[in-house]
């Protein structure tokens, strides 16, 4: 930009002097201020009003190529009024809202499939409990690193792109909107998935 102000080395310090106190007060020591330097929130992720989870922020310049960049909806972004969002009437969404979100669930070794309504469950714990009851088996402990430990079974789902994913990796809302059907894998296949393959 022509005639731009050089900012890096030539700040007019007197005029723009930043202190922690108010102008006119004399403070010689800066109070230590922790957990304010970057955008990371000190609290764990919480559900926001709209039902989505807050997106994670790393450094201010987020790398768009990160494979795990979560595309969870951010509250109030993009800045569009609710009545506008509602009037755009995306038909798929309204169908899901009124009819429930039924997905087929297959279990390795079971003779027939079942169907469950994902909307009935508030989160993964409830869903997994329901699966355990439905098919009379136990799912192991979930960890991000190792999947489901301590059991022969691994709950998986097919997402919109046709890929088979381990249930529990993505935020609940994202799972709800991308899950097409589920399969409870058993045996060696299950163990393969569980080892972060």
How many Å apart are CA 72 and CA 59, to the nearest integer?
A: 17
Given strand 164-166, what is the order of strands in its sheet? 114-117, 102-107, 181-186, 153-158, 164-166
Q: Which of residues 50-109 bind other proteins (CB under 8 A)?
A: 50, 57, 60-62, 64, 71, 73-85, 87-88, 90
H-only helix segments in the chain? 82-87, 91-99, 124-135, 172-178, 188-194
Q: In 3-state terms, what secondary structure has residue 104?
A: strand
User: Is the Cα dihedral 96, 100, 106, 107 positive or negative?
Assistant: positive
Q: How far is the CB of 57 from other proteins (least distance, A)?
A: 7
| Interface with other proteins: number of residues (CB under 8 A) | 50
Per-residue mark of binding to other proteins, 39-58 (x: CB under 8 A): x-xxx--x--xx------x-
Q: How far is the CB of 114 from other proteins (least distance, A)?
A: 31
By beta-carbon proximity to other proteins, the closer residue of 27 and 129 is: 27
How many Å apart are CA 52 and CA 30, to the nearest integer?
A: 38
Q: How far is the CB of 32 from other proteins (least distance, A)?
A: 8
How many Å apart are CA 130 and CA 138, to the nearest integer?
A: 11
Q: How far is the CB of 154 from other proteins (least distance, A)?
A: 28
By beta-carbon proximity to other proteins, the closer residue of 77 and 112 is: 77
Q: Which residues bind other proteins (CB under 8 A)?
A: 1, 4-5, 7, 15-23, 31-39, 41-43, 46, 49-50, 57, 60-62, 64, 71, 73-85, 87-88, 90
């Amino acid at each position: 930009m022509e005639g731009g102000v050089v900012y890096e080395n030539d700040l007019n310090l007197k005029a723009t002097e930043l202190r922690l106190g108010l102008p006119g007060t004399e403070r010689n020591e800066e109070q230590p201020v922790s957990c304010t330097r970057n955008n990371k929130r000190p609290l764990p992720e919480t559900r926001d009003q709209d039902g989505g989870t807050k997106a994670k922020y790393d450094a201010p310049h987020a790398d768009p190529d990160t494979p795990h960049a979560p595309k969870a909806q951010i509250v109030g972004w993009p800045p569009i009024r609710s009545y506008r969002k509602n009037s755009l009437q995306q038909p798929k969404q309204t169908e899901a809202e009124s009819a429930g979100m039924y997905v087929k669930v297959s279990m390795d070794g079971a003779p027939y499939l079942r169907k469950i309504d994902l909307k009935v469950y508030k989160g993964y714990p409830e869903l997994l409990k329901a699966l355990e009851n439905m098919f009379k088996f136990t799912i192991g402990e979930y960890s991000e690193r190792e999947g489901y430990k301590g059991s022969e079974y691994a709950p998986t789902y097919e997402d919109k792109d046709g890929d088979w994913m381990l249930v529990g990796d993505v935020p609940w809302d994202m799972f709800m909107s991308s899950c097409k059907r589920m399969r409870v894998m058993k045996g060696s296949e299950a163990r393969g998935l569980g080892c972060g393959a």
